[in-house]
Protein backbone atom coordinates (compact mmCIF):
# COMPACT_ATOMS: atom_id res chain seq x y z
CA UNK A 1 0.00 0.00 0.00
CA UNK A 2 1.27 3.45 -0.85
CA UNK A 3 -1.24 5.99 0.46
CA UNK A 4 -0.89 8.46 3.28
CA UNK A 5 -2.81 6.10 5.56
CA UNK A 6 -0.59 3.14 4.92
CA UNK A 7 -0.97 0.58 7.68
CA UNK A 8 -3.65 2.56 9.47
CA UNK A 9 -6.01 -0.36 9.97
CA UNK A 10 -3.81 -2.29 12.39
CA UNK A 11 -1.48 -1.48 15.24
CA UNK A 12 1.03 0.81 13.65
CA UNK A 13 4.79 0.50 13.63
CA UNK A 14 7.45 3.14 13.77
CA UNK A 15 10.58 3.27 11.65
CA UNK A 16 13.77 4.08 13.47
CA UNK A 17 15.92 6.93 12.22
CA UNK A 18 18.50 4.52 10.87
CA UNK A 19 15.94 3.24 8.40
CA UNK A 20 14.62 -0.19 7.68
CA UNK A 21 13.80 -1.24 11.26
CA UNK A 22 10.26 -1.16 12.60
CA UNK A 23 8.87 -1.61 16.06
CA UNK A 24 5.38 -1.81 17.49
CA UNK A 25 5.19 1.61 19.08
CA UNK A 26 2.12 1.03 21.25
CA UNK A 27 -0.62 3.53 22.14
CA UNK A 28 -1.23 4.13 18.45
CA UNK A 29 -4.16 1.95 17.49
CA UNK A 30 -6.71 4.23 15.80
CA UNK A 31 -10.45 4.05 16.28
CA UNK A 32 -11.64 3.88 12.69
CA UNK A 33 -15.24 4.15 13.77
CA UNK A 34 -16.63 2.51 10.64
CA UNK A 35 -15.45 0.20 7.89
CA UNK A 36 -17.14 -0.67 4.62
CA UNK A 37 -15.33 -3.99 4.30
CA UNK A 38 -14.35 -5.27 7.79
CA UNK A 39 -12.17 -7.96 6.24
CA UNK A 40 -10.24 -5.36 4.22
CA UNK A 41 -9.33 -2.49 6.47
CA UNK A 42 -6.87 -1.12 3.91
CA UNK A 43 -9.53 -0.75 1.25
CA UNK A 44 -12.07 0.57 3.75
CA UNK A 45 -9.82 3.37 4.92
CA UNK A 46 -8.96 4.26 1.33
CA UNK A 47 -12.67 4.48 0.55
CA UNK A 48 -13.10 6.83 3.52
CA UNK A 49 -10.27 8.97 2.16
CA UNK A 50 -11.97 9.12 -1.22
CA UNK A 51 -15.30 10.11 0.29
CA UNK A 52 -13.64 12.82 2.34
CA UNK A 53 -11.85 14.13 -0.74
CA UNK A 54 -15.17 14.64 -2.54
CA UNK A 55 -15.77 17.93 -0.73
CA UNK A 56 -12.34 19.10 -1.91
CA UNK A 57 -12.92 18.22 -5.56
CA UNK A 58 -10.97 14.96 -5.50
CA UNK A 59 -14.00 12.76 -6.14
CA UNK A 60 -17.77 12.77 -6.27
CA UNK A 61 -19.69 10.92 -3.59
CA UNK A 62 -22.01 9.38 -6.18
CA UNK A 63 -19.15 7.96 -8.24
CA UNK A 64 -17.53 6.57 -5.10
CA UNK A 65 -20.72 4.83 -3.97
CA UNK A 66 -21.47 3.34 -7.38
CA UNK A 67 -17.88 2.17 -7.85
CA UNK A 68 -17.75 0.60 -4.38
CA UNK A 69 -20.95 -1.32 -5.05
CA UNK A 70 -19.24 -3.12 -7.93
CA UNK A 71 -16.08 -4.12 -6.04
CA UNK A 72 -15.32 -7.58 -4.73
CA UNK A 73 -13.07 -6.68 -1.76
CA UNK A 74 -11.47 -10.12 -1.76
CA UNK A 75 -10.07 -9.49 -5.24
CA UNK A 76 -7.47 -6.74 -5.71
CA UNK A 77 -8.01 -6.85 -9.45
CA UNK A 78 -11.69 -6.08 -8.96
CA UNK A 79 -10.70 -3.02 -6.94
CA UNK A 80 -8.22 -1.99 -9.63
CA UNK A 81 -10.63 -2.52 -12.53
CA UNK A 82 -13.45 -0.50 -11.04
CA UNK A 83 -11.38 2.50 -9.97
CA UNK A 84 -9.49 2.50 -13.27
CA UNK A 85 -12.82 2.54 -15.07
CA UNK A 86 -14.17 5.60 -13.27
CA UNK A 87 -10.75 7.28 -13.52
CA UNK A 88 -10.68 6.76 -17.28
CA UNK A 89 -14.18 8.21 -17.62
CA UNK A 90 -13.15 11.37 -15.78
CA UNK A 91 -9.91 11.64 -17.72
CA UNK A 92 -11.70 11.35 -21.06
CA UNK A 93 -14.43 13.74 -19.94
CA UNK A 94 -11.76 16.25 -19.01
CA UNK A 95 -10.08 15.91 -22.39
CA UNK A 96 -13.41 16.44 -24.14
CA UNK A 97 -14.09 19.56 -22.07
CA UNK A 98 -10.67 20.93 -23.01
CA UNK A 99 -11.38 20.42 -26.70
CA UNK A 100 -14.60 22.37 -26.27
CA UNK A 101 -12.82 25.18 -24.47
CA UNK A 102 -14.25 24.48 -21.01
CA UNK A 103 -11.09 24.70 -18.92
CA UNK A 104 -12.72 24.67 -15.50
CA UNK A 105 -14.63 21.49 -16.26
CA UNK A 106 -11.52 19.90 -17.73
CA UNK A 107 -9.49 20.69 -14.61
CA UNK A 108 -12.10 19.39 -12.18
CA UNK A 109 -12.39 16.10 -14.08
CA UNK A 110 -8.62 15.64 -14.17
CA UNK A 111 -8.39 16.21 -10.42
CA UNK A 112 -10.92 13.45 -9.83
CA UNK A 113 -9.14 11.17 -12.29
CA UNK A 114 -5.85 11.69 -10.43
CA UNK A 115 -7.44 10.58 -7.19
CA UNK A 116 -9.18 7.55 -8.69
CA UNK A 117 -6.00 6.40 -10.44
CA UNK A 118 -4.15 6.69 -7.14
CA UNK A 119 -6.76 4.51 -5.46
CA UNK A 120 -6.62 1.94 -8.24
CA UNK A 121 -2.88 1.50 -7.65
CA UNK A 122 -3.24 1.07 -3.88
CA UNK A 123 -3.03 -2.75 -3.49
CA UNK A 124 -0.05 -3.22 -5.80
CA UNK A 125 3.72 -2.98 -5.38
CA UNK A 126 5.49 -0.24 -7.30
CA UNK A 127 7.08 -2.77 -9.65
CA UNK A 128 3.69 -4.20 -10.63
CA UNK A 129 2.42 -3.26 -14.08
CA UNK A 130 -0.99 -2.30 -12.62
CA UNK A 131 0.65 0.24 -10.34
CA UNK A 132 2.82 1.53 -13.17
CA UNK A 133 -0.10 1.99 -15.56
CA UNK A 134 -2.33 3.71 -13.00
CA UNK A 135 0.36 6.10 -11.79
CA UNK A 136 1.47 6.92 -15.33
CA UNK A 137 -2.07 8.00 -16.17
CA UNK A 138 -2.27 9.91 -12.91
CA UNK A 139 0.91 11.83 -13.67
CA UNK A 140 -0.35 12.74 -17.14
CA UNK A 141 -3.56 14.10 -15.64
CA UNK A 142 -1.50 16.21 -13.27
CA UNK A 143 0.50 17.68 -16.14
CA UNK A 144 -2.64 18.47 -18.07
CA UNK A 145 -4.07 20.17 -15.00
CA UNK A 146 -0.94 22.29 -14.47
CA UNK A 147 -0.92 23.36 -18.12
CA UNK A 148 -4.43 24.78 -17.74
CA UNK A 149 -3.85 26.64 -14.49
CA UNK A 150 -3.59 30.42 -14.47
CA UNK A 151 -0.85 31.26 -13.75
CA UNK A 152 0.40 28.12 -15.40
CA UNK A 153 1.80 25.45 -13.12
CA UNK A 154 5.22 23.91 -13.59
CA UNK A 155 6.76 20.46 -13.31
CA UNK A 156 10.19 21.03 -11.79
CA UNK A 157 13.14 18.81 -10.96
CA UNK A 158 15.24 19.54 -7.92
CA UNK A 159 18.73 18.00 -7.57
CA UNK A 160 19.04 15.67 -4.60
CA UNK A 161 20.82 12.31 -4.68
CA UNK A 162 23.13 11.50 -7.57
CA UNK A 163 20.98 10.28 -10.45
CA UNK A 164 17.82 10.69 -8.37
CA UNK A 165 16.32 14.19 -8.55
CA UNK A 166 13.17 15.20 -6.76
CA UNK A 167 10.15 16.05 -8.86
CA UNK A 168 7.71 18.73 -7.74
CA UNK A 169 4.73 20.71 -8.94
CA UNK A 170 5.03 24.48 -8.56
CA UNK A 171 1.80 26.47 -8.64
CA UNK A 172 2.52 30.22 -8.61
CA UNK A 173 0.47 32.60 -6.51
CA UNK A 174 -1.87 35.00 -8.34
CA UNK A 175 0.13 37.35 -10.53
CA UNK A 176 -0.67 40.35 -8.34
CA UNK A 177 1.56 38.89 -5.64
CA UNK A 178 5.29 39.04 -6.52
CA UNK A 179 7.49 37.88 -4.95
CA UNK A 180 5.10 35.63 -3.12
CA UNK A 181 5.24 33.59 0.06
CA UNK A 182 5.28 29.86 -0.61
CA UNK A 183 4.16 26.77 1.23
CA UNK A 184 5.98 23.50 0.60
CA UNK A 185 3.68 20.52 0.97
CA UNK A 186 5.26 17.11 1.39
CA UNK A 187 3.75 13.85 2.54
CA UNK A 188 5.37 10.91 4.23
CA UNK A 189 8.11 9.04 2.31
CA UNK A 190 6.22 6.99 -0.27
CA UNK A 191 3.21 9.30 -0.41
CA UNK A 192 2.49 10.82 -3.82
CA UNK A 193 2.33 14.54 -4.49
CA UNK A 194 -0.45 14.38 -7.09
CA UNK A 195 -3.29 14.24 -4.56
CA UNK A 196 -2.07 17.55 -3.12
CA UNK A 197 -3.39 19.29 -6.23
CA UNK A 198 -6.97 18.80 -5.10
CA UNK A 199 -6.22 18.65 -1.41
CA UNK A 200 -4.36 21.88 -0.66
CA UNK A 201 -3.69 23.92 -3.82
CA UNK A 202 -6.75 26.14 -3.57
CA UNK A 203 -6.08 26.98 0.07
CA UNK A 204 -2.66 28.33 -0.85
CA UNK A 205 -3.93 30.15 -3.94
CA UNK A 206 -6.84 31.83 -2.13
CA UNK A 207 -4.44 33.20 0.48
CA UNK A 208 -1.94 34.59 -2.02
CA UNK A 209 0.65 31.86 -1.55
CA UNK A 210 2.51 29.79 -4.10
CA UNK A 211 2.55 26.03 -3.58
CA UNK A 212 5.35 23.54 -4.11
CA UNK A 213 3.99 20.00 -3.91
CA UNK A 214 6.86 17.53 -3.69
CA UNK A 215 7.44 13.87 -2.89
CA UNK A 216 10.43 11.55 -2.63
CA UNK A 217 9.38 9.25 -5.46
CA UNK A 218 11.67 10.74 -8.06
CA UNK A 219 10.85 11.66 -11.63
CA UNK A 220 9.18 8.39 -12.64
CA UNK A 221 6.42 6.17 -11.31
CA UNK A 222 8.31 5.67 -8.05
CA UNK A 223 9.74 2.18 -8.53
CA UNK A 224 13.25 3.49 -7.81
CA UNK A 225 12.13 4.75 -4.41
CA UNK A 226 12.37 1.28 -2.89
CA UNK A 227 16.12 1.44 -3.45
CA UNK A 228 16.57 4.55 -1.29
CA UNK A 229 13.77 4.27 1.28
CA UNK A 230 16.11 2.72 3.85
CA UNK A 231 18.52 5.65 3.82
CA UNK A 232 18.95 7.32 7.22
CA UNK A 233 19.06 10.81 5.68
CA UNK A 234 15.84 11.11 3.66
CA UNK A 235 15.04 14.38 5.41
CA UNK A 236 18.02 16.05 3.68
CA UNK A 237 15.67 16.46 0.72
CA UNK A 238 14.10 19.46 2.44
CA UNK A 239 17.33 21.45 2.32
CA UNK A 240 17.57 20.93 -1.42
CA UNK A 241 13.96 22.04 -1.80
CA UNK A 242 14.71 25.32 -0.02
CA UNK A 243 17.88 25.78 -2.08
CA UNK A 244 15.68 25.62 -5.17
CA UNK A 245 13.04 28.01 -3.87
CA UNK A 246 15.39 30.78 -2.73
CA UNK A 247 16.79 30.98 -6.27
CA UNK A 248 13.36 31.73 -7.75
CA UNK A 249 12.71 35.44 -8.27
CA UNK A 250 8.98 34.96 -7.74
CA UNK A 251 9.46 33.51 -4.24
CA UNK A 252 9.81 35.57 -1.06
CA UNK A 253 12.73 33.72 0.53
CA UNK A 254 11.84 35.10 3.95
CA UNK A 255 8.35 33.59 3.90
CA UNK A 256 8.73 29.88 3.20
CA UNK A 257 6.43 27.57 5.16
CA UNK A 258 6.18 23.80 5.09
CA UNK A 259 3.23 21.48 5.61
CA UNK A 260 3.74 17.80 6.39
CA UNK A 261 0.68 16.08 4.96
CA UNK A 262 -0.57 13.30 7.19
CA UNK A 263 2.34 13.21 9.67
CA UNK A 264 2.92 9.59 10.56
CA UNK A 265 6.54 10.19 11.57
CA UNK A 266 8.99 12.99 12.38
CA UNK A 267 10.30 13.01 8.80
CA UNK A 268 9.57 16.67 8.05
CA UNK A 269 10.41 17.75 11.60
CA UNK A 270 13.85 16.18 11.20
CA UNK A 271 14.29 18.13 7.98
CA UNK A 272 13.47 21.53 9.46
CA UNK A 273 15.36 20.93 12.71
CA UNK A 274 18.66 21.81 11.07
CA UNK A 275 17.49 24.34 8.47
CA UNK A 276 16.51 27.73 9.84
CA UNK A 277 15.22 29.07 6.52
CA UNK A 278 11.63 28.01 7.20
CA UNK A 279 9.36 30.73 8.57
CA UNK A 280 6.67 28.34 9.79
CA UNK A 281 5.96 24.63 9.83
CA UNK A 282 2.93 22.39 10.20
CA UNK A 283 4.21 18.99 11.25
CA UNK A 284 4.48 16.70 14.26
CA UNK A 285 7.11 18.96 15.82
CA UNK A 286 9.23 15.97 16.74
CA UNK A 287 6.47 14.23 18.70
CA UNK A 288 6.93 10.92 16.90
CA UNK A 289 10.65 11.15 17.56
CA UNK A 290 9.94 11.83 21.21
CA UNK A 291 7.39 9.02 21.45
CA UNK A 292 9.86 6.62 19.86
CA UNK A 293 12.51 7.58 22.41
CA UNK A 294 10.12 7.02 25.29
CA UNK A 295 9.05 3.65 23.91
CA UNK A 296 12.63 2.46 23.56
CA UNK A 297 13.67 3.87 26.94
CA UNK A 298 10.85 1.99 28.65
CA UNK A 299 12.05 -1.27 27.14
CA UNK A 300 15.77 -0.68 27.64
CA UNK A 301 15.89 1.29 30.92
CA UNK A 302 19.54 0.53 31.58
CA UNK A 303 20.76 1.45 28.10
CA UNK A 304 22.30 4.94 28.10
CA UNK A 305 21.59 5.20 24.36
CA UNK A 306 17.91 5.78 25.12
CA UNK A 307 17.74 8.84 27.35
CA UNK A 308 14.60 9.54 29.33
CA UNK A 309 12.26 11.89 27.43
CA UNK A 310 11.56 13.99 30.53
CA UNK A 311 15.28 14.81 30.68
CA UNK A 312 16.00 15.10 26.98
CA UNK A 313 12.99 15.81 24.82
CA UNK A 314 14.67 14.75 21.62
CA UNK A 315 17.19 15.89 19.08
CA UNK A 316 14.47 16.92 16.64
CA UNK A 317 12.25 19.04 18.89
CA UNK A 318 15.25 20.68 20.52
CA UNK A 319 16.58 22.10 17.26
CA UNK A 320 13.44 23.41 15.55
CA UNK A 321 13.66 27.21 15.41
CA UNK A 322 10.53 28.29 13.52
CA UNK A 323 6.93 28.43 14.82
CA UNK A 324 5.24 25.04 14.61
CA UNK A 325 1.61 23.95 14.41
CA UNK A 326 0.87 20.38 15.47
CA UNK A 327 -2.55 19.44 14.07
CA UNK A 328 -3.95 15.99 14.72
CA UNK A 329 -7.20 14.26 15.64
CA UNK A 330 -8.62 12.24 18.49
CA UNK A 331 -8.74 9.19 16.24
CA UNK A 332 -5.23 9.56 14.86
CA UNK A 333 -2.55 6.91 15.10
CA UNK A 334 -1.10 8.44 18.26
CA UNK A 335 -3.66 8.83 21.02
CA UNK A 336 -4.68 12.36 21.90
CA UNK A 337 -3.67 12.13 25.55
CA UNK A 338 -0.20 10.98 24.50
CA UNK A 339 0.09 13.87 22.05
CA UNK A 340 -0.85 16.34 24.79
CA UNK A 341 1.70 14.84 27.15
CA UNK A 342 4.51 15.10 24.62
CA UNK A 343 3.39 18.56 23.51
CA UNK A 344 3.67 19.76 27.12
CA UNK A 345 7.29 18.63 27.22
CA UNK A 346 8.08 20.56 24.05
CA UNK A 347 6.18 23.67 25.15
CA UNK A 348 7.90 23.80 28.53
CA UNK A 349 11.18 24.47 26.76
CA UNK A 350 9.79 27.76 25.47
CA UNK A 351 9.26 26.71 21.88
CA UNK A 352 6.69 28.58 19.75
CA UNK A 353 4.40 25.60 19.28
CA UNK A 354 0.63 25.46 18.80
CA UNK A 355 -1.40 22.29 19.31
CA UNK A 356 -4.75 21.65 17.64
CA UNK A 357 -6.48 18.34 18.30
CA UNK A 358 -9.68 17.92 16.31
CA UNK A 359 -12.36 16.25 18.42
CA UNK A 360 -14.53 13.43 17.15
CA UNK A 361 -17.59 15.64 17.61
CA UNK A 362 -16.23 18.30 15.24
CA UNK A 363 -14.79 15.78 12.71
CA UNK A 364 -11.36 15.97 11.04
CA UNK A 365 -10.43 13.63 13.90
CA UNK A 366 -9.07 10.66 11.95
CA UNK A 367 -5.49 10.13 10.83
CA UNK A 368 -4.61 12.71 8.15
CA UNK A 369 -8.05 14.27 8.77
CA UNK A 370 -9.57 12.03 6.09
CA UNK A 371 -13.06 12.35 7.56
CA UNK A 372 -13.12 16.12 7.00
CA UNK A 373 -10.03 17.52 5.27
CA UNK A 374 -11.78 20.84 4.62
CA UNK A 375 -12.06 21.71 8.29
CA UNK A 376 -8.42 20.84 8.92
CA UNK A 377 -7.11 22.69 5.87
CA UNK A 378 -8.99 25.87 6.75
CA UNK A 379 -7.45 25.92 10.21
CA UNK A 380 -3.99 24.96 8.97
CA UNK A 381 -3.78 27.48 6.14
CA UNK A 382 -5.19 30.28 8.27
CA UNK A 383 -2.43 29.56 10.78
CA UNK A 384 0.21 29.55 8.02
CA UNK A 385 -1.12 32.80 6.57
CA UNK A 386 -1.02 34.52 9.95
CA UNK A 387 2.55 33.37 10.56
CA UNK A 388 3.65 34.61 7.13
CA UNK A 389 2.00 37.98 7.66
CA UNK A 390 -0.70 37.53 5.03
Query: For residue 103, is it within any domain?
Result: yes
Residue 306 confidence (pLDDT): 45
Tell me: pLDDT of 60 over 80: yes
- What does the pLDDT read at residue 11? 32
What span, in angstroms and rounded, lies between the C-alpha atoms of 328 and 334?
A: 9
Strand partners, 327: 356
Band (pLDDT 50/70/90 cuts) for residue 231 is: confident
Residues 99 and 188 in one domain: no
Which CATH number characterizes residue 120's domain?
Answer: 1.20.1440.110
Stretch 164-185: mean pLDDT: 93
Is position 221 within any domain?
Answer: yes
Please say which residue of 148, 175, 202 terminates a domain.
148
Residues 158 and 144 in one domain: no
Task: DSSP for 287-353, please give it.
Answer: HHHHHHHHHHHHH-TT-TTS--TTT---HHHHH--S-EEEEEETBSSS-HHHHHHHHHHHHTTT--E
Instruction: Tell me if 26 is assigned to some domain.
Output: no
Which of 211, 288, 194, 216 lies closest to 257 in space, CA to CA? Answer: 211
Residue 83 lies in a domain: yes
CB 277 within 8 A of CB 257: no
| Sheet strands (E) in 76-175 | 154-161, 164-171
Position 152 scores a pLDDT of 97
CA neighbor of 288 nearest in space, from 268, 307, 306:
268
Residue 221 pLDDT class (50, 70, 90 cuts): low
Q: List pLDDT tens digits, range 239-282.
A: 999 999 999 999 999 999 999 987 666 889 999 998 999 999 99
Of residues 311 and 223, more confidence is placed in: 223
Query: Please, is 54 exposed, middle or buried when counting C-beta atoms within 10 Å of its C-beta (0-12, 13-18, 19+)?
Result: middle
- As a whole number, mean pLDDT of residues 116-135 equals 96
Do 2 and 58 reside in the same domain of the chain? yes
237 and 382 co-located in one domain: yes
Confidence of residue 19 (pLDDT cuts 50, 70, 90): very low
Give the pLDDT confidence score for residue 27 in this predicted structure: 45
Alpha carbon distance 350, 345 (integer Å): 10
User: What pLDDT sits at residue 169?
Assistant: 99
Q: Is the dihedral of CA 196, 198, 200, 206 positive or negative?
A: positive
Domain range enclosing 319: 152-390
Cα 106 to Cα 173: distance, rounded to the nearest angstrom: 21
Residue 14 counted as domain residue: no
Residues 350, 238 share a domain: yes
Which range, of 102-106, 223-227, 294-298, averages the lowest pLDDT?
294-298
- Asked if residue 5 has pLDDT above 80, the reply is no
- Residues 63, 97: one domain? yes
The answer to whether residue 17 is domain-embedded is no
CA distances from 308 to 138, 284, 341, 362 (A): 45, 20, 14, 35
In a domain, 240, yes or no: yes
Domain's final residue, options 130, 148, 166: 148
The pLDDT, as a whole number, for residue 295 is: 63
Torsion angle, alpha carbons of 228, 234, 237, 239, to 10: -150
Residue 177 has pLDDT above 60, yes or no: yes
Helix (H, G, I), strand (E, B) or coil at 208: coil
106 and 227 in a common domain: no
- Report whether pLDDT(153) > 60: yes
Q: What is the predicted pLDDT for the residue at 6? A: 41
Give a yes or no: residue 332 inside a domain. yes
Q: Is the pLDDT of residue 142 over 60?
A: yes
- State residue 34's pLDDT score: 58
Q: What are the pLDDT digits (tens) for 101-115?
A: 999 999 999 999 999
Structure confidence at residue 62 as a pLDDT band (50, 70, 90): very high
Whether residue 52 has pLDDT greater than 70: yes
Domain count, the chain: 2
> Given a cut of 90, is residue 189 above it in pLDDT?
no
Same domain, 238 and 376: yes
Query: Which carries the bigger pLDDT value, residue 223 or residue 194?
Result: 194
| Ordered DSSP codes for 362-378 | GS--BGGGTT-HHHHHH
- Which of 133, 148, 163 marks a domain boundary? 148
pLDDT tens column, 332-386: 888 899 889 888 888 877 889 999 999 999 999 998 898 999 999 999 999 999 9
Residues 259, 176, single domain; the answer is yes
- Amino acid 256: pLDDT: 99
How high does pLDDT run on average in the chain? 86
Lowest mean pLDDT across 15-29, 35-49, 186-200, 370-384 = 15-29
Amino acid sequence: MHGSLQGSCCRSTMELEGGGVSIDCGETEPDLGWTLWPERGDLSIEFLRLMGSAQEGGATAAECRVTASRIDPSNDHSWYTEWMSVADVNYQRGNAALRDGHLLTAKSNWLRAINYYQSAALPFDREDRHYWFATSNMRQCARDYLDCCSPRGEVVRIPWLEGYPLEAYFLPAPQSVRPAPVVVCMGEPGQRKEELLHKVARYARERGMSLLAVDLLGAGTGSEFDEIVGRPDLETALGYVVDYLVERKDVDAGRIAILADGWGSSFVARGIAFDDRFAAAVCDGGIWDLHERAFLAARAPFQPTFSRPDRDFGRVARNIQCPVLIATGERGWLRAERVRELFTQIKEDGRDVTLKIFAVAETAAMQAHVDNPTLANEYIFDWIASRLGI
